[in-house]
Amino acid sequence: MDLGIAGKKALVCAASKGLGKACAKALAREGVAVTIAARTKETLDAAAAEIRAVTQAPVAAVVADVTTEAGRAAALKACPEPDILVNNAGGPPPGDFRDWSADDWLKALNNNMVSSIMLIKATVDGMVARKFVARHNVTINNLLPGPFETDRMLGTLKFEAQRQNRDWKELHAERARANPTGRLGDPDEFGALCAFVCSAHTGFIVGQSFLLDGGAFNATI
């Protein structure tokens, strides 16, 4: 299927690893000019090179922490008129909520909600002016990931393994068996849905939250 987004421009945040990189790769495969942002230059440059090699598409990389005002400014300077914005940021570290301070909660809220709102605010009027899809040419939807094979998942498993004095590989196997699919998610599956939701075929899908968890949440929303 031609997703109808070749030639569009996308800004993908936190895209040096994991689900962000998978989204950037899927968009690049569709001919989108992708700009990826992340905090660490080494992993960011490696991700950009990998995506270019796999997709033969142009990929720009900008070192930017989008949870900060300066980082968002740097990302938008590198991609000032995105047609597609993929908001993403690393989640809070694992731990016991009893140990988290008010500042920890506020930091998590800023990183995973406020920063997204600020980027939407900075880009939405330009998207409307360029007329892409939907009534006012912009759609906003959410992708809600469950357990995927990412560095973050590995780090969480190792943290829990250390806490329980167990081998993290045992916990990995248990986590996979516990999922109705019998496995953890492949980041490329997440990226493929991201590209489709950003496509020209989804103008009638607005304000939806897509749960990708292998059926772990046993209910219908």
Residue 67 class from Cβ within 10 Å (0-12 exposed, 13-18 middle, 19+ buried)? buried
- What global pTM score does this model have? 0.92
**Residue 221 above 90 pLDDT?**
no
Mean per-residue pLDDT over the chain, rounded: 93
Q: Which residues contact 108 (CB under 8 A, 6 or more apart)?
A: 91, 92
In this prediction, what percent of the chain has a pLDDT beyond 70? 98
Question: How many residues in the chain?
Answer: 221
Query: What is the C-alpha to C-alpha distance for residues 100 and 166, in angstroms, rounded to an integer?
Result: 24
Q: Which residues pair with 212 in a beta bridge?
A: 145
Q: What pLDDT does 20 receive?
A: 97
As a whole number of angstroms, the distance between CA 8 and CA 6 comes to: 6
Domain locations along the chain? 9-212
3-state DSSP assignment of residue 36: strand
Please say whether the dihedral angle defined by the alpha carbons of residues 126, 127, 129 and 135, taken in this order, is positive or negative: negative
| Between 137 and 174, residue with greater pLDDT | 174
Class of domain 9-212 as given by CATH? alpha beta
pLDDT attached to residue 41? 96
